[in-house]
Every structure is written in structure tokens, then in C-alpha cells.
């Protein structure tokens, strides 16, 4: 379900990107937070950012030192939350019919 463009890696910050259910996602873990953003296009700064989630907050400001496997789990969590969001949107559309 996830098509990886780049798996979690460390280079100044932990980041990863790919596609989930046809939507582009960008994950980053920097300073004290880990965030995932979903959009309809890879260059989401010029296009519609559909949804974003703060997945993890670390009080030590060491988010860029998290274990890469833990970051993968955070990405899966973000994708799960996004799929729930898409289901809610679809239900609202169906209720309007």
C-alpha cells in the first residue's frame, strides 16, 4: 500500500517520502517533533495540503536521533490515521446523496 520514494534515512533530519492510496506523503522528524503530511501532488507547497499529523513529540529535542524502525512505525500510524480520514470524507459524501 505504500510506494516508497525514499525510506526513512538520516541526513540532518530523519525524512521519508512516498505514496499512500494515491496521495503523496512526506515524513520528517526534526528537533522535537515527527510530522507526516499528505497532499495530492509531490510538490505540496504549491498544491493542496490535504492533511497533516504530529505523530510524536520528544521533550529532549532529539527527534532526529530516533530509531529508523520506530520512524517507519510512525509512518504506518500516519497512513492509518489518513485512511480513517478518507473513510470519514467518503461517508460524508455518501450522506449528501
DSSP string of 15-76, one letter each residue: EEEEEETTEEEEEEEETTEEEEEEESSSSTTSS-EEEEEEEEE-TTS-GGGS-HHHHHHHHH
Residue 6 CA, chain-centre distance (Å), reads: 13
Nearest to 39 by CA among 56, 54, 55, 22: 22
Q: How high is the mean pLDDT of the chain?
A: 88
3-state secondary structure of 84: helix
Note the pLDDT tens digit of each residue in 59-95. Answer: 777 777 888 999 999 999 999 999 999 999 999 999 9
Mean pLDDT of 28-36: 90
What is the predicted pLDDT for the residue at 40? Answer: 86
Mean pLDDT of 1-23: 89
What's the distance, Cα to Cα, between the start and end of the chain in Å? 29
Q: What pTM does this model have? A: 0.88
Amino acid at each position: 500500500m505504500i510506494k516508497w520514494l525514499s525510506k526513512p534515512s538520516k541526513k540532518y533530519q530523519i525524512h521519508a517520502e512516498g505514496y499512500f492510496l494515491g496521495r503523496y506523503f512526506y515524513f520528517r522528524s526534526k528537533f522535537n517533533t515527527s510530522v507526516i503530511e499528505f497532499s495530492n501532488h509531490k510538490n505540496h507547497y504549491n498544491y493542496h495540503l490535504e492533511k497533516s499529523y504530529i505523530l510524536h513529540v520528544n521533550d529532549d529535542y532529539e527527534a532526529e536521533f530516533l530509531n529508523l524502525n520506530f520512524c517507519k512505525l510512525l509512518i504506518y500510524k500516519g497512513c492509518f490515521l489518513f485512511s480513517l480520514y478518507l473513510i470519514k470524507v467518503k461517508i460524508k459524501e455518501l450522506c449528501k446523496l
